[in-house]
Amino acid sequence: MSAAIYLDHFATTPLDQRVLDVMLPYFRDDFGNPSSDGHHIGQRAKQAVEKARDVIRRAVGCESERGVLFTSGATESNNLLIRGLSECIGIPRRHIVVSAIEHKSVLEPINWLSTHGYRVTRLPVDGSGLIDPSLVAKAIAPDTLLVSIMAVNNEVGAIQPLQEIGELVKAHGVLFHCDATQGIGKVPIDMSRCAIDFLSMSAHKIYGPKGVGALCVAHAEPERFLTPQLLGGGQEHGLRSGTLNVPGIVGLAKAIEVTNLEADSESERIRKLRDRLKGRLEATVAGLHINGDPARSIPGALNVSIVGVRSTAILARIQHIAVSGAAACGGQSAKSHVLTAMGLDRERVQSALRFCVGRFNTVGEIDSAVDRIATEVAWIRNQPVFGEAQAS
């Protein structure tokens, strides 16, 4: 196979040409610094940023006109929220509720807080990777500061019941954060309807550029809730210093526009490709198990385990097919905390392959990928060392 087949859209997505087209002028022609608004070059850049801010705010149902803070991506957004909220003067609560399957950029800052006097309740998930909203309500205590639940899981694609969870959190007077990085454009997300106070996102998961994202804050004065983690020029209401990435910001807004505009038709097409991938794998690869529930996941997501064949062995044989064995943030050799939390045994976790079908995939690519994987699984199983390992 000479041409690469990309089926790892959880990790990142290719830049859509329509997004690139709107970005290009801000690299060269309208190159101004939006903070230098004393002249027309800076003013044009500032106007582009503010237009993008309004597009994003409306797309996610953020009612605060000052509520979109631009960052380098969801990791920074999550850290700004979690650490910035915990350090904010006047917020004495010291308990956080989080799901066990959050992205590492949520779990690691929260783990850090647990070493600095915070209590943390980690909520379990079921075998599909879903959270029971009643467990969220039971976990909330008088000193709970924040509940953090992702919109869509980045390994099995499980869609969390955000509206139900948000209503319960709001009823207890607690702040609600949602890492919506994998959910934007794939599931309806409305901060107002779901009572979400803080929402994180990244452009490169929705066919936009790498290195840009946002933290959306539902409240009129976001500085009341956050302590900045970067100090310097005072950009973004003093909450995120640093020269704004104007081409990236424009690209993020365009990526959201395109994704939301085509969400219904794209979801149907991608779901059909994912179902074809699933069906052909089940028909051609013996010992295949589905991890999670595709019916309760985003359209492109498929996570499988092949009994007795470690994912690292398969990945080494299919270099031209871009799939992964775990989340990109953890590296291929990392043990999946998501699959472990779902109750899968060690063998299933070590043999897991994560697929995510995307916008530009074709039927031919799906069929070629399945044929190659089936061939390589058969080759691995025919090796003497495989038989010895099975016998032991």
Cβ–Cβ under 8 Å, residues 102 and 154? no
Distances (CA, A) of 332 to 217, 316, 319, 324, 326: 34, 11, 13, 7, 6
Q: Which residues of 87-101 are buried (b: 16+ CB within 10 A; e: fewer)?
A: eeeeeebebbbbbbb
- HSE-CB at 158 with a 13 A cutoff on CA atoms is 26
Cα separations (Å) of 209 from 29, 146, 248, 339? 19, 30, 6, 29
Q: Do residues 386 and 308 make contact, with C-beta atoms less than 8 angstroms apart?
A: yes
Instruction: Indicate the burial class of 40 (C-beta count within 10 angstroms; 0-12, 13-18, 19 or more).
Output: exposed
Looking at the DSSP bridge assignments, the partners of residue 18 are none
Question: How far is Cα 79 from Cα 73, in angstroms, rounded to an integer?
Answer: 10
CA angle 158, 164, 165 (to 5 degrees): 75
Burial of 303 (C-beta count, 10 Å sphere; 0-12/13-18/19+):
buried
Tokens 């595709």: give the residue. 294
- Give 247's DSSP letter: H
Say which of 62, 194, 329, 356 is annotated catalytic.
Answer: 329
Q: Which residues of 104-134 are buried (b: 16+ CB within 10 A; e: fewer)?
A: bbbbbbbeebeeeebeebbbebeebbbbebe
Q: Which two tokens stand for residue 35?
A: 């903070």
CB 157, CB 300: distance < 8 Å = yes
178 classed as catalytic = no
- List residues with catalytic annotation: 329
